[in-house]
């Protein structure tokens, strides 16, 4: 076991991975980063629900050994760095962690702490389930038709930070190189970003999406891309995805082209262009179940879909490397600084990220108990301000009171 300067390792055991399956002990050590801004409020509320649900289900036979790890403003205060090396080491060593939102320090040397965490730990799959809970206000007529899981690739694409600023010697050098080598005319003062999409990166995210569909009895996987225009990046993503179906999944899955849209009892792997997809998730969301896409598309799509079922205050997320088992579950909204320490905001995004974490640990009874209690609370219209302002007859409660109501409904 590594030694840590600031992290105190509690009594408990490590979560491990064997033959691709997560092995959870009775007292797993789980890291938590409470987060900045509204982070401490929503973390406290969520932890109360997590511990109560575990106790409710296992009657004290199992429990989470929480281990505080640091990132963001608190890390800077405690460890003198916004993203201490020992935080990364602890996630690598103990495998599972959950976090609240983090402020990105301006001039702190990071593009974004969240993006850095995902890239440094190679958490290549950003998993965002999107479903509706009855009673939650939504801007669409039939939010219940949305029940999708997005697998967004986390490490490549224009998102990976390979950018050169306009009018710098570096960008000018690249502009000249492109002219000399490829005859490309790029305006000299352009800022430039690079969009790498690799066969390995594509295949591991599509593999994760198909494996999820198999495990969860889903009928289709849709590859979303803009390959009609960006042929060698987004188009290649689609081609490599279909190639993978043939190479590794031909007994359980089939591509649209190979079955003419009739997959029998196999999983149908199809593709759609990103702009059409954004229309169809509004007009016929039932046609999509599991979605695999690249980093930037996935970013837009997850938030657009979240809006259909109640907004980012309720959207959970997980960042996973299925080979190493390293995973980081997280609120998908930001730090909402104007509400910090007011005990006001909706903790549902962290709560539902915890539900994903319990599923990942194989404690699905706990996940189900939390979902049931949460649904009951929404249906009884006991909600935080964000939902209350959109609902008739709601009882508006504080963040901590909402957690208390969920615990009562367990």
Task: Work out whether strand 316-320 and strand 327-331 pair parallel, antiparallel, or are unpaired.
Answer: antiparallel
157 catalytic residue (yes or no): no
Q: Which residues pair with 223 in a beta bridge?
A: 271, 292
Minimum separation from the CB atom of position 307 to ligand NAP (A): 11
User: Out of 83, 102, 208, 292, which residue is the one contacting ligand NAP (CB under 6 A)?
Assistant: 102
Cα–Cα distance, 229 to 213 (Å, whole number): 28
Distance CA 213, CA 288 (A): 12
97 vs 354: CA distance, rounded Å: 10
Q: What is the DSSP string of 287-319?
A: G-SEEEE-HHHHHHHHHHHHHHTT-GGG-EEEE
Site for ligand NAP in 299-318 (CB under 6 A): 312-313
196 or 337: CB nearest ligand NAP:
337
How far apart are alpha carbons 234 and 273 in whole angstroms? 10
Residue 71 beta carbon to ligand NAP: minimum distance, rounded to whole angstroms? 9
- Residues from 325 through 344 that contact ligand NAP (CB under 6 A): 330, 333-336
| Residue 299 annotated to the active site | yes
Q: What is the 3-state secondary structure (H, E, C) of 47-63?
A: HHHHHHHHHHHHCCCCC
Q: Which stretch binds ligand NAP (CB under 6 A): 135-143, 146-154, 298-306, 345-353?
A: 345-353
Provide the pairing of β-strand 125-131 with 147-153.
antiparallel
Q: Given the complex with ligand NAP, which of 171 and 346 has the nearer CB atom?
A: 346
392 an active-site residue? no
Residues 5-44 as x/- pattern, contact with ligand NAP by CB under 6 A: ---------------------------------x---x--
Positive or negative, the Cα torsion across 167, 168, 171, 173? positive
Binding-site member from 24, 103, 119, 154 for ligand NAP (CB under 6 A): 103
List the one residue from 46, 87, 114, 321 that touches ligand NAP (CB under 6 A): 114
Our CB check for ligand NAP shows the closer of 39 and 201 to be 39
Residues of this chain that interact with ligand NAP (CB under 6 A) are: 38, 42, 101-104, 114, 312-313, 330, 333-336, 345-346, 349, 386
The residues annotated with a catalytic role in the active site are 159, 226, 275, 299
């Amino acid at each position: 076991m590594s030694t840590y300067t600031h992290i105190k390792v509690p009594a408990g055991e490590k979560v491990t991975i064997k033959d691709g399956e997560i092995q959870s002990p009775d007292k797993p050590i789980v890291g938590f980063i409470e987060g900045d801004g509204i982070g401490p409020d929503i973390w406290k509320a969520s932890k109360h629900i997590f511990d109560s649900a575990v106790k409710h289900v296992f009657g004290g036979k199992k429990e989470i050994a929480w281990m505080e790890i640091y990132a963001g403003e608190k890390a800077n205060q405690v460890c003198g760095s916004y993203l201490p090396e020992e935080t990364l080491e602890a996630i690598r060593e103990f495998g599972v962690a959950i976090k609240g939102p983090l402020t990105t320090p301006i001039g702190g040397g990071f593009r974004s702490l969240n993006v850095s965490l995902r890239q440094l730990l190679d958490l290549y799959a950003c998993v965002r389930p999107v479903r509706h809970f009855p009673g939650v206000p939504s801007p669409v007529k039939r939010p219940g038709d949305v029940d999708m899981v997005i697998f967004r690739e986390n490490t490549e694409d224009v998102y990976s930070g390979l950018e050169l600023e306009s009018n710098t010697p570096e960008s000018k050098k690249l502009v000249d190189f492109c002219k000399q080598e490829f005859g490309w005319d790029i305006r000299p003062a352009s800022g430039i970003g690079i969009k790498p999409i690799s066969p390995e990166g594509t295949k591991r995210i599509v593999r994760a999406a198909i494996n999820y569909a198999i495990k969860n009895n889903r009928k289709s996987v849709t590859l979303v891309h803009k390959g009609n225009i960006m042929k060698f990046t987004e188009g290649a993503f689609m081609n490599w995805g279909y190639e993978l179906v043939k190479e590794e999944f031909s007994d359980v899955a089939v591509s649209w082209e190979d079955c003419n849209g009739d997959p029998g009892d196999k999983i149908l792997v199809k593709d759609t262009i990103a702009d059409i997809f954004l229309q169809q998730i509004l007009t016929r969301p039932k046609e999509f179940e599991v979605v695999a896409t690249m980093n930037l598309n996935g970013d837009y799509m997850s938030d657009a879909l979240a809006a259909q079922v109640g907004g980012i205050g309720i959207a959970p997320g997980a960042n996973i490397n299925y080979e190493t088992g390293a995973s980081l579950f997280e609120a998908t909204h930001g730090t909402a600084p104007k509400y910090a320490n007011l005990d006001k905001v909706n903790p549902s995004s962290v709560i539902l990220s915890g539900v994903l974490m319990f599923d990942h640990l194989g404690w699905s009874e706990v996940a189900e108990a939390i979902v049931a209690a949460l649904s009951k609370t929404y249906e009884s219209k006991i909600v935080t301000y964000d939902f209350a302002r959109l609902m008739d007859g709601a009882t508006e409660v504080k963040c901590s009171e909402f957690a208390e109501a969920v615990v009562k409904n367990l």
